[in-house]
Structures are given as structure tokens and as C-alpha cells.
Structure 1
Amino acid sequence: MSTSSSPLDRERAHLDSSRAALRAMREDAEALDIRDVTANWVNAEVLQRQIDDRIKALADLSHTPLFFGRLDYLHAPGVDLAEGAEGEQFYIGRRHVHDAEGDPMVIDWRAPVSQPFYRASKKDPMDVALRRRFGYTGGALSAYEDEHLSDPAEVERTSKLLQQEIERPRVGPMRDIVATIQPEQDEIVRSGLAGSVCVQGGPGTGKTAVGLHRVAYLLYAHRERLARTGTLVIGPNASFLHYIEQVLPALGELEVRQSTVDDLVAQVEVRGTDSAEAALVKGDARMAEVVRRALRSHITLPDEGVVVVRGSRRWRVASYELADIVRELMERDMRYGAARDALSQRVAHAVLVQMERAGEAPDDRVQDAVARNPAVKALVKAVWPAVDPAKLVLRLLSDAEFLAEHAEGLLDAAEQKAVLWVKPARSTKSAKWSAADAVLIDEASDLVARTHSLGHVVLDEAQDLSPMQYRAVGRRATTGSVTVLGDLAQGTTPWATRSWGEALAHLGKPEAVVEELTAGFRVPSDVIAYASRLLPSIAPGLAPVESVRENPGAFEVRAVSGAGEVVAACVRALEREGSVGLIAADSRCGELAGALGAAGLTFLAPGEETTAESRLTLVPASLAKGLEYDYVVLDEPAAVVAGEPDERTGLRRLYVALTRAVSGLQVTHTSPLPPQLAPRRA
């Protein structure tokens, strides 16, 4: 390389070399021959799948910069500074890249040596002499910006490239924030696997991105463990999951499962809906005890002994001894099914004790044979019968006397009436189960047999979960950790979370650390200030988000005469670069869809933003949570509020809708605005 070339030319040359090295790494993976290294076809298939995943992870995505920063250390990391070791230079990117000799050309952003890129400052330079940020235009490296952190003469200043990246217009699904992670976000991202974390964050604070990047970091730091135990990201709906689905693959992580809570507990087909009152009761944590009582009511104490015939000998276990065994099992903290299996073994053991006293020497095979004896199996069936979870819940919701017996002291008469079906179903297949019913079945299933636990679960938009839904998620992480993400001000369900302490207790993670993000990086300052007028009404005491964006964004509130002017507002928004979301009360989406069609504007539905058909999405307010658009046209705020069961929930829904804009917001209305948003007198 010529010594006369500019710094930018040298950085571009390193980028070209790094891309060539990544291409060579991929070609090496593609050339692997496993025909002579596997013992059988099963091993071969597993190994080939791992190789295929490795090849996918090494893809060079044209729209994703291979590296976004550089660190120049004063000394070699990990070396005693007293030794005076010469400093080293590291390029920080989304994945590790090495050359043919194995020397690193790009360091994974998750590596310990990369941490100062996010944490170092003039106050604490962390032995970094220079931090360089790179800017890209159309995938080409076009600019760089230096911070001399260890130079006392240089004043600390806001990074222009960082600000531009934060405010860059977006089209399509959510992208990663790996180049712009802030110190307070990085602390959460790099928190350990053993501990659970709850992140309270207002709109635009990056809580969803933080949760996804934490998954990526944990997979890097604990890959072998999490490969065995699994990871899961839970979102509020399918549209949201489509919106975030490209973030982890862009970071090289392909094996993370995504799901909604409804899909997680889908043991029956959901075809029915509940009234708000019924859903509120079914989602209450008291229902867990109702289900537990109902399940254990199937257990009865034996009123006669059991006789086991083996050869010419008859062995009798008296009823009082059987009753003691049953009582002991009932007192132990065991799953219903496990205790049922243990009952047959305990009865068999009692028989073996008699055999030993009679001079015989039975072994484990004899005990297993006695446990399978028809008389013992008949006893277990009568005393501790098998229970189908769906049938148990069906009876609770259909049989008023059965429900009253097991809800005594827990649910009052009105609450019991609310959950009972008006038209009881004859079978589990014909039943019109609701989403809340499916959660009750999941609860019953876990009481019968333990639910499989994962290594780590990310729960996003958690503020909308019921206590019973929290329990369902918690069952998937009894031996693992959880990252909970949410905003108490955005709760829009009748059972919305009132406090994170209460929610974490239902989740089974009361020891989780609660972190609050208050710096807003996405929502313009004018927009968040306007939306924050609602906070005293929807979340008293919650700190408003402070936008750190230099660009105040575009903001306008306009009275209009009809749908035609709303469409005109969308046309004006589409004249700018980026995505546009038209958010409206669900009841108004049909009329607006017709108006858009009549004007010749094509539009997408939420979750379809990965296509290139249009930059405009028509978003029902009920699906807006978690989504972001460069420009938002919010139609008829009063209709958004009126579309909810009560004013407070409606105002929370409106708060969500107002804060989906990244670059600008236009509020259009024909009806008067809610009082909190009415123009203020000078």
C-alpha cells in the first residue's frame, strides 16, 4: 500500500481485504468434506447442518457494513501496563474475520476487547488512544470521525456520525443498533447469563434492540450452554415478530426461536373470545390455585388394601399403609404425573419390604414388575387417576358446582359467573377456547408434567401480559434467565402491569434487576414532548423520555374535513425519504383503506414491511405497539381513545400511536382532541 494514500483510502483498502478474508472463510466452510469423519448418517446430518449454519453466518451482506469502528489501544489489551507493551489496533464489526494466517482483521463487537468502543470516554478512556467511527453511503465507506480519548487537550464532543446513524431514515424491518449502542445500553447488553434483567424504557429508548443484542451477546459468551438449553424471543403479535426478525440474523445468530405467548401455549385451537371481565378473571393469578385445587381433587385416599399375587404367594398392603403413602406424596412438591408414577413404585416397595422380611431377596426388576402388577395399576387408577389438562379446564368452565367448590375463598360469585361458559361444550374439540383458556390449560399441563425450561428468554412488550401469562412465560425459564422489556405507560390491556415488582414475582424472577432507560434516540423531541402530555393521566410518576436527537423532527397538528385530507397528508409524507405509517383507530381503517385505494396509493399491512411494494403502511392502532416509521400520520386521536373499553386504556393506546414516529408526525383530526392534547393558550 502506498504511504501517500489518504487515511480514508487505507480504511477502504482494509475493508476490501476484510471482505476478501470473509469470502475465503466462507469458501473454506463450503469446501469441508465430512464423508470420512462421521460414524453414521445421523452424525453426518447433524454436522452438515452445523456447517450450513456456519456458511449462512459468514454471509457478506451488501447493505450491512463489515466494520463500523476502530480502536487504537495505548497498550496491548491484557498485558501488564508496566511492561510498556506497544498498543494494538482493532476494527470492530458485526462478526469476527481473520486472514489466512488466523490474524484478526475484524473483531466481533461482543468480544471483551471491543467493549471500550461503547464505554470509553474522556473521563475514563479505558487505555484507548483513539476511537474511530466510520460512515457509509450505499454500502461504501465514505467518511470517518476520530475521538482522541487519551489526549487531554481535545474536548469531548458529540459524534456527528453517531448522530447521523441514529437519525438515518429507515425503510423496512427493524435494523440492529450495534454501531450506536450507548454506555447505559451496553451495560444491560453485557449483563451476565445467570441474572435476570427488567428494562423499563419509554418510546425510542431502544429497549427492544437492547434485548435482542443481549441475546446475541449471551450466545457469543455462552454458546455451548445455550446451544443445549435454547433461547427464545417472545413478542406481542406476529406483525411485531416480522418487524424484528432480521436483527439477529444480521448479527450472525440464526437459531433463536421467536414466538408470541399465544403460540407458546397453543395446545388447543383458539376460536372464541372473552369479555373484558372474563379475561380479567381468567388472567388473575388466583386462577392458578383454582386449577391446582381442581387437579388435586381427583386424588382420593384408599378405603381398602391391595393384594399382589406373585407365583404361589400373596402379598397384602393394608389400606392405612396405602393412605400414608398417598398423604406423603400429596405433601411433597411434585408434579401430579410424577407423583402418580411414584405411587406405583412406593406400593411396590412396600411389597418388597414384606418379601425381604419373609426371607426373599428381590431386586429392582422385581420392584418394577410389582409396580406393573394389574392390582397395583388398578389401585393407582382409582386413587390417583390420570387427568387430561384440557378436560380439567373444560369442566371448570362448564360445571358451576365444580368451579364453586375449588374457587371457594378465591373468586366471588360474580367472578365465577364471569368465567363460566353460557353454553358449555361437550368435548375439548368442540369447545370454543379463548386465548385466556389456553393459558389455563398450559397451567394445568405444567401441574401434571413439568414444562421444558430454556436457557434464556426475552419477553418484549411485557407490560400487556396478565399474571397467568407471566406464569406461562416463567415456566419456560425456571432453570434459565429472562430479559423483560416494557413500558408501564404503554400498557393497553385491562390487566396491564401496574408495577415491575409485581410482574417479576408472577414470572418467578423476583430477584431480577430493574433498569430504566430514559434517553430517547429514535423519537423526535417535539413528538415525545407532545405525547408526554398524556403521562400524568396514564402513568403518574413515570419519568418522561428525554430525546437526545439534535434534529427536532417535523411535527404538525392539523384539523381536517375528511379522509381525503388524511390521504393528502400521507402523500406529503411520501415525498420525503423513509417509511410512512398511517395509524388509525381500528374502526376507521376500512374507510381509510378505501380512500387510499381511490387515490391510487398502494399500502402494506403491519408485518409486510419486508416487501418493496410500498413505503406506506396502514396500521390499526391495536397493532402499532413496537413498530416504527420515519413519518407517521395519526388519524383522529379521539377515535383511538374511544376504541378502548375505558379512557385510561384509550389514552395509553394513543400514547403508543403518537410515539411510533422516527422523523416526523402529523396529527389529523375532525373531532376535538382529547383535553390533554388540546392547544395550550399562550
Structure 2
Amino acid sequence: MADSFQSAYQEEERKLNETIAEIDRQLDRLTSIPVYTGHDFTEQVLEAGREERRQALFKSQAEPYFGRLDFQESGKDAQTPLYIGKVGFDRETAGEHPMVMDWRAPAASLFYSFTGGEDLASYEAPEGLVEGRVYLKRNMVIRKQILERVSDTYNRDSGGPAVTDEFLVYRLGENKDNKLRDIVSTIQAEQDKIIRAAKNTALIIQGVAGSGKTTVALHRLAFLLYQYKEQVTADKMIIFAPNRMFLDYISNVLPELGVGDIQQRTFEDWAAEQLDLPWNGEDTGKTFAYWFETETGQGTREWSNNDSGRYKGSITFMDLITRCMEQLEDASLPELDFTPWDGAVLLKEQIQEWFQVEYKPYPLAKRKERVLARIHRWVEMELKKSPSQAVLKERKKKASQREKAYANKWPKFDPLTLYKQLFGASKSSIWPEAWLKEIPQETMAVTRKNLKAGLIKEEDLTPLLYIQTMLHEMDGNLRFDHVVIDEAQDFSPFQIALLDRYVRGHSFTILGDLSQGIHAYKGVHAWDELSSLFEEEHQAYFALTTSYRSTMEIIEFGNVILDQGVRSDLLAVPVFRSGDDVRLIPYGQGAGREEDLRRALRHLSSKGSYRTVSILTRTLREAAELHEMLAGEWPELNLIDGGKGTYQGGLSILPVYLSKGLEFDAVIAADVDAYHYADKIWDAKLLYVGCTRALHELWLFYEDQLPACLHSGLDDITETGWPEGS
């Protein structure tokens, strides 16, 4: 066996040296050619091709490829070794197969879809289905042109019946830094199906914590740009993520895949920009979860439930606004003739003809603009009939005044003005009283109060932007070729329906986890709230149940919370990567809460292999207080409060609700007790989010009594008390 491994290693080392030498030769030649900066179109095209090849070779220099697949196509006599990398390139004289095949190429899909066995394997090529046999699937780790690891995950000659997980477990065991990384070398078959799905489809992906949802979506963008290069462009794609810090966390993945210029925004930032409204992004944090917490003078906690976000994110509310805008169309036109001066009359029937027939295809604001311009042209023609200069001057003056007065009789086609009228936050309203009564009383009262105070809440941005799309023509430059929505369980049906107006061909990747839906005041409670927005032929649903992030012990601990607290039957299936038991540590075994947390942080941060260690608290106030206590000993300890746009890695402390989407080598969960996590589904979801951030170690501290969702099922996966030597 050792001889076989040594032989494989030597073979791959020779291949690597040959590949690097070829890359160097091509780069030397291409860089020796002066960059063309002239105006000749043919030369410009040739230079663009050379530059594209230069960039591909530069990106391939350090790590040319990561995998090899030996495939024998049916009807052919010999196996062909296909080397697969992030970027494809060929020798100067191209052969039947490239020297390194781009991971997005049709044939490269075999590297991900093949799961072992004697049956024929196949892939879809432009010319049709290609079938054949896989003889070898080999993973490699190459860093800085050094071959570090060779692992055969399938070898037909050795009699291996299936692809093994050894290489996957090795990569999952690596420690993390402050950025999400690509998974191009370890994409699994279920993930590959999503990545390569057809473009004009609204994909809805339910994935347990750690199933790679976000990374899969980012790889899907890279695939779509490769597969549909004539139809889509990077600058017409957008990723909507929950907050700016998360966007920073995922920012390296697409550049690693050779993709740039894709917009990455929060929905709130993007919507406020379209509306030209000031927005600082603070509202989301203030209205966290289905309740918001306030401190009274006695230090007790008050809980209140505001369901206005759920209502204002509903299709019911969208339909009400649609009816109101249709009513606005009927009520827009002043019911009177236009008389610019005595003796000249433009009949209201003529104006109605222009507005309701001739300019009907235009949105309301454009129709108003066109009608008023048409009236002005009619006035100019009538002025030409003036008998003298004196009469002309007098008529011009009167016409100008009366045109302004007539225009003021039209409703103001401004989204915020109309929205205020809808909620009675302005003096006048043209909406039927019966319609306004359809809005829940609490929603009406809270929104009216906010709008009168000049407050635009997160939940108001979607209806405001919807009103704008109905008032104004949508600029074609604002339309997207594809939209990715991360943490989609926190998006409302109204948001998705609005975005569908901005995207061509219902081209969405919508991903999330209902079990991590910690914001009950917004979002969806079931995926059919979103899938019902699309025709059946324009949608597809995938469930990712394998969790790759954490050890088996941590995943099984999370499943206890899912089963007992969240009451979900969609549990995570772990990859076989075992680690330490989850630790449950009651306060008081040290010198109290603060000293216990200090001791835990000392122990975990002293492990040289851990790059990221985090303390998670229930609230932001508790995180800030604890940070102040600990910062003297650990000045590098970062407080994450939602106001920062970057995640720096290292040691951090943050409220658990801001940890969504992040992952840490080790997690210390503070105050995991029945007081901080009540016997409610939303509290269980929040605890599940916190626990599933940990890759290798999870420690939970509590006082008095554990939450109800942790009362049983923990014996085999938990350890009580401190580890030896801590």
C-alpha cells in the first residue's frame, strides 16, 4: 500500500512540475508581448484575449489544479486523465482535452457527481449526453507549487466500491480564519446539482446549519457566468445578505473563483438607494427577534410582540397597495376642463383620452408628465392665434399661472407621500376608508406614529419601493440577470415578489434555514410562502441535510435543540468527523461567572491551532458589559455590535443573533439557562444558531437550570465540568 501511494505521489509530482513549467513558458511569452493600447479594433480583440490568458495563467501558477478524473468515454479505446482546477488552460497547441479543465466545464461535473460503483457515468455536453466509465478519482492539495497531499477517493483497479470521505474530512478539519473560503475541491454531488441548475429557475434551498448553502450559491454564480457567458454579466448579478459584516465575511470566495464585479448588498441598503432615502442600517438590530428587550429601572425585562413586519411583508398588503394604486389612477385626473385664459378651453374629455388611452402603457408618473407636456404644447399652439403682442404677453402670463395651478390639482406621485396617506400620517388621503380598515389596527397605529415622527423602518422599504415601481418606468440598467438571497427565511413574500420585477426570467437562488428563522416579526415560517409566488415550471426546491461545518458531537447536540425546542423533523446529518464532547459547565466552579468565562477563554485561546474563538451572549448589552470586563486581559478581543462592516477573526464577543452565517473554531456560549432562553420556539432557534457556529469545540455556561430544549438527550454527547488541565 505504501509503495502504491509513493508511486502515485511521484507520478503527480512529475505532472505538477510539467504543468508549472508549461505555465511559466506561456507566461514568459505572453508577458514579452507589449500590451496594445491603440485604437485598432482587431488588435484590441487580440489583446483582450491575451490578457484573459495571462490572468488565467497567473491565477493557476500557485495551485494549478486540485483533482484528477480518469474517464473512458464509451466507444473509445483509452482512458483520459482529466485534471481539474479553478481556471482552465491548455498548451499552446490545443489538444482534444485541455491541460487543466475548468471546474465548471461539462466534463468536470463528473468529478462531483460520480459517487462510485460499476455503472456507467454520464454528463451533459453541448452535443448531448456523454457516457463512459470512471477509473480514478483523485484529490490533491497543492500550495505554492508544492504537492502536499494526494488522496484517491475512488480507484476502480483497487476494487473500491464507492467514493470515500477521507479527503473531505481532512479539508473540513482545517481551521478557519476571518473569511469564508471556496469549496471547489470538495463540492458534493447534492451541492453540484444546485450549482449547475438551469438559469431561469427560482431555486429555493432549505439547508441545515453548516450545509454550505452560502458557498454553494456563490459557486452557482461563477457557474452561471461560465455556462451562460453570452446571456449574463457579473455586474448584472447581485447577492443580498443579512448584514454588511456577513458580506465582508464572504467577500473572498468569488475572487478566489476568478469572478469579480458582482454586487453584494443588504436589501435595506439597496432599497434605500433606489428610493434615494438616507439609511444607516441600524433598524434591523434594534428590532431583533419577535420581541425586543428593554431595561426598566428595576432591571426586569419587558417583552412585546409587534407583528406589523409580518403584515407589511405579506402579499395581502402588496395586493392592497396594488388596489390603491389602481384607485389612484382613477382619481388622478382633475375632473374639469383646462382654461388657460378666458375664451380658450381644453375639454376634460380630451385630457382623459390622452391619460387613459393614448398614454395608458406608461406608469402613472410618466403619464402625468406626458399629459402636462401635451397640455403645454396645446397652449403654445393656441398662443400663436393671439391677435397682438400685447394679448400674447397677457395670455402667456395667465397660461403659466393656470398650468401650475392645474398641475397642483394632481396627486403628488411620490412614494413616501402616498405611503403616509395610506397610514393616515398626512392631512389628506384619497384611499377608500374601507380599504384602510383592512390594515391591522396595531400596524396602522405604530406605522402612523413612526411616519409622523419621520421614521422609516426596515419593513417600510419594500412597500415604498413597490409604489415607486408602479409610479415610474424601471430603468433597464437596474434589471438583474440573477439574484441570490441569503438567509431567505428572513425575507418576506412581498420582498421576493418585488425583486421578481427586477430580475429577468425568475432567475433566483433563494437559500436559508427555517430553523434559523429567529426574526418572527418578519420573514417566512414555511417555504411555500415563497414558492407560491412562481409558476411550477419556474421553480425548484432542494433540501441540504448534510452538515459539513461541525464535529459529529456538535451537530448531534444541535439536533437535540431542533428536535425538542424548534420541533423540526429536518435534522442535520453529520459527516464522520469526531471531536470533543460538548461541555456543559455550571457557573460557580470557578470564582463566579466572569472568572469562569475568563478561564474558558484562556484555555481555548491558548490552543495554537485555533484561529477564531468567540464568546456568544444573549443580548448586545451583555456582550458590551462582558467585553469591558475582559478587554484588559485580551486587548485584541473584538466586540461585534452590528455597526462594523468587517469581521476580523481572532477573539471576538457578540450577541448570538449577529453570529448568523459566521463560524468559529471554538464557541463559548454564555448564560445558556432557562432565564435567557425561555421555552419558546424562537428562543430555541436562537440557541441552535449559536451552537452551530462552532467547528471543533463548544462550551456552554449556565446558572440554575438549563433551557427546556436541553433537558434530555445529551448523555452521549456532553461532558459536565472543566477539562483536565484547564
TM-score by length of 1: 0.81
Query: Is residue 482–residue 503 contact of structure 2 (8 Å, CA) maintained in 1?
Result: yes
For residues 159-213 of structure 1, what are the alpha-carbon distances to aligned partners after superposition, in whole Å with 9 as ceiling and x for unaligned? Answer: 4222211222222211111111111111111001121211000111111111111
Secondary structure at the counterpart of residue 194 of structure 1 = coil
The residue that corresponds to 2:723 in the other structure is none
Alignment of 1:402-441 (within 5 A): 402=429, 405=433, 407-421=435-449, 424-425=452-453, 431-441=454-464
Query: Is residue 233–residue 258 contact of structure 1 (8 Å, CA) maintained in 2?
Result: yes
Query: Is residue 567–residue 595 contact of structure 1 (8 Å, CA) maintained in 2?
Result: no
- The CA deviation at 1:414 is 3.4
Query: Is residue 29–residue 51 contact of structure 1 (8 Å, CA) maintained in 2?
Result: no
Secondary structure at the counterpart of residue 638 of structure 2 = coil
The residue that corresponds to 1:629 in the other structure is 664
Q: Confirm whether residue 447 of structure 1 aligns to residue 478 of structure 2.
A: no
Change (3 A) 1:329 1:467: farther
The residue that corresponds to 1:264 in the other structure is 270
Q: Confirm whether residue 571 of structure 1 aligns to residue 602 of structure 2.
A: yes
The residue that corresponds to 1:140 in the other structure is 146
The residue that corresponds to 2:335 in the other structure is 303
Change (3 A) 1:517 1:269: same
For residues 466-494 of structure 1, what are the alpha-carbon distances to aligned partners after superposition, in whole Å with 9 as ceiling and x for unaligned? Answer: 33333443333254500001001110112
For residues 502-535 of structure 1, what are the alpha-carbon distances to aligned partners after superposition, in whole Å with 9 as ceiling and x for unaligned? Answer: 1244589994211101111112222122222232
The residue that corresponds to 1:288 in the other structure is 318
Secondary structure at the counterpart of residue 135 of structure 1 = strand
CA distance in 1: counterparts of 2:318 and 2:702, whole angstroms: 45
Q: Tell me the percent identity.
A: 23
Aligned residue identity for 1:520:
S
Query: Is residue 565–residue 709 contact of structure 2 (8 Å, CA) maintained in 1?
Result: no
CA distance in 1: counterparts of 2:158 and 2:58, whole angstroms: 41
The residue that corresponds to 1:364 in the other structure is none
Structure 2: any 5+ residue segments left out of the alignment? Answer: 1-5, 122-132, 288-305, 380-398, 716-726
Query: Is residue 283–residue 469 contact of structure 1 (8 Å, CA) maintained in 2?
Result: yes
Change (3 A) 1:442 1:635: same
Aligned residue identity for 1:114:
A
Change (3 A) 1:336 1:193: same
The residue that corresponds to 1:590 in the other structure is 624
CA distance in 2: counterparts of 1:558 and 1:86, whole angstroms: 61
The residue that corresponds to 2:702 in the other structure is 669
Query: Is residue 125–residue 150 contact of structure 1 (8 Å, CA) maintained in 2?
Result: no
Query: Is residue 195–residue 219 contact of structure 2 (8 Å, CA) maintained in 1?
Result: yes
User: Which among 596, 602, 616 is matched to residue 636 of structure 2?
Assistant: 602
Change (3 A) 1:610 1:138: farther
Change (3 A) 1:30 1:590: farther
Change (3 A) 1:637 1:132: same
Aligned-residue Cα RMSD (Å) equals 4.0
CA distance in 1: counterparts of 2:680 and 2:32, whole angstroms: 59
For residues 18-71 of structure 1, what are the alpha-carbon distances to aligned partners after superposition, in whole Å with 9 as ceiling and x for unaligned? Answer: 34544566663795533223579xx98x99999888766654388x73311101
Aligned residue identity for 1:323:
Q
The residue that corresponds to 2:394 in the other structure is none
The residue that corresponds to 2:352 in the other structure is 323
Alignment of 1:183-202 (within 5 A): 183-202=189-208
Change (3 A) 1:568 1:65: farther
For residues 424-452 of structure 1, what are the alpha-carbon distances to aligned partners after superposition, in whole Å with 9 as ceiling and x for unaligned? Answer: 25xxxxx3322223333212211112443
CA distance in 1: counterparts of 2:39 and 2:699, whole angstroms: 63
User: Which among 349, 359, 365 is matched to residue 337 of structure 1?
Assistant: 365
CA distance in 2: counterparts of 1:33 and 1:386, whole angstroms: 55
Paired residues, what number?
A: 633
The residue that corresponds to 1:122 in the other structure is 117
The residue that corresponds to 1:647 in the other structure is 680
Query: Is residue 265–residue 472 contact of structure 1 (8 Å, CA) maintained in 2?
Result: no
Query: Is residue 474–residue 507 contact of structure 1 (8 Å, CA) maintained in 2?
Result: no
Secondary structure at the counterpart of residue 101 of structure 2 = strand
CA distance in 1: counterparts of 2:428 and 2:400, whole angstroms: 34
The residue that corresponds to 1:18 in the other structure is 19
Secondary structure at the counterpart of residue 624 of structure 2 = helix
Aligned residue identity for 1:320:
E
User: Which among 238, 250, 253 is matched to residue 232 of structure 1?
Assistant: 238
Change (3 A) 1:483 1:640: farther
User: Which among 37, 40, 50 is matched to residue 39 of structure 2?
Assistant: 37
CA distance in 2: counterparts of 1:610 and 1:139, whole angstroms: 30
Structure 1: any 5+ residue segments left out of the alignment? Answer: 76-80, 352-372, 426-430
- The CA deviation at 1:235 is 0.5
The residue that corresponds to 2:249 in the other structure is 243
CA distance in 1: counterparts of 2:438 and 2:25, whole angstroms: 65
Aligned residue identity for 2:661:
G
- The CA deviation at 1:157 is 5.1
Secondary structure at the counterpart of residue 78 of structure 2 = coil
CA distance in 2: counterparts of 1:608 and 1:418, whole angstroms: 30
Alignment of 1:435-584 (within 5 A): 435-451=458-474, 452-493=478-519, 494-505=521-532, 511-536=538-563, 539-561=566-588, 562-576=593-607, 577-578=609-610, 579-584=612-617
CA distance in 2: counterparts of 1:460 and 1:389, whole angstroms: 27
